[in-house]
Amino acid sequence: MKKTCYRRVGCVPAIGLGTWGIGGGYWSADTSRDPQWIEAIKYAVERGLRLIDTAEMYGAGHAEELVGAALRGYPRDEVFIVTKVWPSHARHDDVIKAAQASAARLGTHIDLYLLHWPSDAAPICETVRAFEELVDRGVIRHFGVSNFTLAQLRQAEACAKKYELAAVENHYSLYNRRDDADLIPYAKASGIMYIAYTPLEKGAVARDPLLAEVGRRYGATPVQTALAWYVKHGVVPIPKAERREHIDEIAGAYAVELSDDDYAKIAAEIRRG
């Protein structure tokens, strides 16, 4: 299992597992496939996808319950759990309550706690103050933001007084590289972890002819080639997967080491945003 290292969080699994759609949808729980979902998360962890990304909104907290059930009994220091607080819960007391509820559903502390979207419910400094209190209480280890611009990230960063803002999670893929213009260079220079959600663009990456061409040189699929590109780029992709064959394909990206030339070729020739 490869790891990507950041000054503010240390070394984390280079590829993670997203859980949007597992356990339900937008504030709506679905328990009909719980055994299959738990087994899928367990299998992903066994295959080396040991960063698990979830949120209180996913399935109205049920996704967190499934992650907790899947990880029960697994060595805690071998997994990195990310979850998020919804922007309507961004006021100080609400953040504290939401984090405690998420930790209870997970059955453990939270490695990285993110504000899911910028919030109109509270000033960002009030949210960050609650995050720092949660670190002191041992409920979370690190905190950050999600779906933030660079300007918004820097505003949140300036609010932190006791601990550094550790991470940002945004939509990023080879087809959506807007953050390469400013946010990713800033994060890299500052030691901030960058998590890329929707890195496979709902299957579009799997059909990319250039990724297929490059991948053939490595015995890799387009998906594995793209994931290897993200790892070399220094971001942590978190594709969602439920089926064993999909999990196996994602985990197989760990074995792909792109040459500098192929990395540059992909970067130069795939430009879709």
Q: Which of 49, 56, 84 is nearest to 70 (CA)?
A: 49
| Mean pLDDT (whole number) for 46-71 | 98
pLDDT for the residue 96: 98
Nearest-angstrom CA–CA distance, 1 and 167: 21
Nearest-angstrom CA–CA distance, 71 and 83: 14
What per-residue string of b and e applies to 152-174 under the rule 16 or more CB within 10 Å gives b?
bbebbbebbeebebbbbbbebbb
Q: Which amino acid is at 61?
A: G
In DSSP terms, which residues pair with 3 in a beta bridge?
13
pLDDT for the residue 151: 98
Known catalytic residues are 58
Q: Which of 175, 174, 124, 188 is nearest to 151 (CA)?
A: 124
Give the pLDDT confidence of 122-145 residue by residue, as tens digits: 999 999 999 999 999 999 999 999
pLDDT score of 7 more than 70: yes
Give the pLDDT confidence of 229-266 residue by residue, as tens digits: 999 999 999 999 999 999 999 999 999 999 999 999 99
The pLDDT > 70 percentage for the chain reads 99
Nearest-angstrom CA–CA distance, 241 and 257: 22
Give the pLDDT confidence of 139-194 residue by residue, as tens digits: 999 999 999 999 999 999 999 999 999 999 999 999 999 999 999 999 999 999 99
pLDDT for the residue 83: 99
In DSSP terms, which residues pair with 117 in a beta bridge?
none
pLDDT score of 273 more than 70: no
Taking the mean position of all CA atoms in its chain, how far away is CA 131? 18
Using the structure block, give the residue that is written with the tokens 């300036």: 158
Q: Which of 231, 234, 235, 192 is nearest to 8 (CA)?
A: 192
Q: Which is it for the CA torsion 115, 162, 168, 143, positive or negative? A: negative
Give the pLDDT confidence of 95-128 residue by residue, as tens digits: 999 999 999 999 999 999 999 999 999 999 999 9
pLDDT for the residue 272: 55
Q: Does the predicted TM-score (pTM) go above 0.85? A: yes
21 CB neighbour count, 10 Å cutoff: 15
Angle at which helices 260-269 and 222-233 pack, to 10 degrees?
100
181 CB neighbour count, 10 Å cutoff: 9
Contact 166, 144 (CB under 8 A): yes
Question: Could you give the maximum distance between any two Cα atoms of the chain, in Å?
Answer: 54
Query: What's the token pair of residue 85?
Result: 């607080």
pLDDT band of 50, cuts 50, 70, 90? very high
Contact 54, 78 (CB under 8 A): no
Q: What are phi and psi of 261, to 5 degrees?
A: -65, -45
Using the structure block, give the residue that is written with the tokens 């990724």: 211
pLDDT score of 59 more than 50: yes
pLDDT for the residue 73: 95
Query: Which secondary structure element, helix H or strand E, spans residue 12, and what is its range?
Result: strand 10-13
On average, the pLDDT of the chain sits at 97
Angle at which helices 244-251 and 34-46 pack, to 10 degrees?
20
